[in-house]
Structure 1
Amino acid sequence: MAMHFLFPAGGVGQRFGADQPKQLTSIAGKTVMEWTLQACFETDRKGHAFIGLSPNDEQGRQISEGYQDLSIFSAGSERFETVLNGLNRMLEIVHPNDWVLVHDIARPCVRAEDIQRLIDTCLISQVGGLLCQPITDTIKQANSLLTVPKTIDRSTLCAAQTPQCFRVKELRDAIQQADKMGIAITDEASAMELAEQPMNLVVGSSDNVKLTHAEDAALVEFYLKQQGRI
């Protein structure tokens, strides 16, 4: 079965505090979107790529049209809606049992070798999965900042990253079901968890950070330099 990419890129980046979507931020002469697409397209995949853009995102559309085999679809108002729109679009032209790698467009430092390892793991096991990073900080759980906190065993915790890789129709159905139940999902794995689907946890690199705040841009540039991409 083929392995496709899906990039939700319809966010406005409210926390980023800029007058344009954060994926259009320029770092070392390229937009964040271009850095992300470059890394993902370096993998040994055999499928199509789909990107969800807001209707008024002319710059994003111009960038996307410069890539061969990258189809544009309409983004939703929320991330999960964008992913759902993309999956429904995919099911018009791809096999339901094909695989899809959903990747945040604002994670430009993702390493091609990590993506490839996730792909290989899912294809060998025939079970979906996601990149993640083990938690190294001591984690406290509290109802408020004034209560006595509870320390959580960090050996059982990891921070979810993207890409997250699942079969196209199974993921579409899981997200639809979560939406019908009124359950907010923050990533694709959350929907698959609700559907009680097993998944692989593949350790990714710590520099696979998400551009969220304006000050993150300097960190992204540093990591891109460390990777030898700048």
Structure 2
Amino acid sequence: MSPIALLPAAGSGSRMESATPKQYLNLLGKPLIWHTLHALHAVPELARIVVVLSAADEWWDSYDWSAFGRLMVLRCGGGSRAESVLNGLQALSAGMPGDTWVLVHDAARPCIDPALVSGMIDLLCGHAVGGILAIPVADTLKLATPALQIDHTHPRDGLWQAQTPQMFRLADLAGALETGLGPDITDEASAVEKQGLAPALVRGSPWNLKVTYPQDLQLAALILQARNT
């Protein structure tokens, strides 16, 4: 079966300092998640784009999503990102083969380049484990003390900053999350790593911004506007 994308979108985005859930914040006249879905629908290899919402989501139905023909909505979001991903995978497993490739992508990464996703699928479709988009760390890293003083400078050699999508087979990722949920699971790869497996690193892009803080919306708007000119 062709790969599918899965977007956990059940969170509130508390660091955005807004009563509106992050995925619905206005970005160039549309909800933020609209731009993410628009980019993923430009990836021809994806058979379906699945959005995992909270059962209590009151925002989704306020918008028109009819432009996205491959869209599927699941209202089974959990209390954490990992739980939302796992719940979505479990819901999909009833009707999809376990070896289906699933690309988990942050709903708040609206600037993903469709060509990057296509290249990732082409590179990893025969891989034994799967992998993630990531970029090498360029900045000097400092380890802080509890008093917010520098403890020491941490070597950046070999360090990469994880991005999404993260691409794994449905059954493998569901199994990893079922056995490994915990505070140390901050992305899908970390759950897979706990199984003793080594996901591949696929070079991403610094423009693949995750909107986390209010100023990130302005950066995302600039990136999208520059891409469309």
Q: Which of the two has greater helix per residue? A: 1
Amino acid at match of 2:71: L
Amino acid at match of 2:85: V
Q: Answer yes or no: is the 8 Å Cα contact 1:6–1:103 preserved in 2.
A: yes
Q: Answer yes or no: is the 8 Å Cα contact 2:41–2:70 preserved in 1.
A: no
Report the equivalent of 2:19.
Answer: 19
Report the equivalent of 2:211.
Answer: 211
CA offset at residue 134 of structure 1? 0.9
Question: Which one of the candidate residues 78, 81, 95 is aligned to 2:80?
Answer: 78
The SS at the match of 2:98 is coil
Q: Answer yes or no: is the 8 Å Cα contact 2:142–2:150 preserved in 1.
A: no
Moved more, 27-36 or 167-176: 27-36
Q: Answer yes or no: is the 8 Å Cα contact 1:100–1:166 preserved in 2.
A: yes
Matches within 5 A, 1:38-53: 38-53=38-53
CA offset at residue 177 of structure 1? 0.6
Amino acid at match of 2:51: I
Report the equivalent of 1:187.
Answer: 187
5+ residue gaps, structure 1, are none
- Inter-partner Cα distance in structure 2 for 1:133 and 1:57: 33
CA offset at residue 214 of structure 1? 1.4
- Inter-partner Cα distance in structure 1 for 2:18 and 2:149: 36
Report the equivalent of 1:87.
Answer: 89
* 1:151 lines up with 2:153 in the alignment: yes
Deviations along 1:134-174, whole A, 9 cap, x unmatched?
11101122333466532222121111000000000000000
Question: Which one of the candidate residues 91, 96, 102 is aligned to 1:100?
Answer: 102
* 1:34 lines up with 2:34 in the alignment: yes
Report the equivalent of 2:112.
Answer: 110
Report the equivalent of 1:167.
Answer: 169
- Inter-partner Cα distance in structure 1 for 2:150 and 2:48: 51
- Inter-partner Cα distance in structure 1 for 2:146 and 2:180: 28
Structure 1's 46 and 36: CA in aligned 2 closer, same or farther, altered over 3 A? closer
- Inter-partner Cα distance in structure 2 for 1:187 and 1:136: 21
Q: How many residues align?
A: 227
Cα root mean square deviation, aligned: 1.8
Q: Answer yes or no: is the 8 Å Cα contact 1:34–1:63 preserved in 2.
A: no
The SS at the match of 1:37 is helix
Relative to the length of structure 1, the TM-score reads 0.92
- Inter-partner Cα distance in structure 2 for 1:215 and 1:190: 28
Amino acid at match of 2:143: Q
5+ residue gaps, structure 2, are none
The SS at the match of 1:156 is coil
Question: Which one of the candidate residues 122, 130, 133 is aligned to 2:132?
Answer: 130
Amino acid at match of 2:144: A
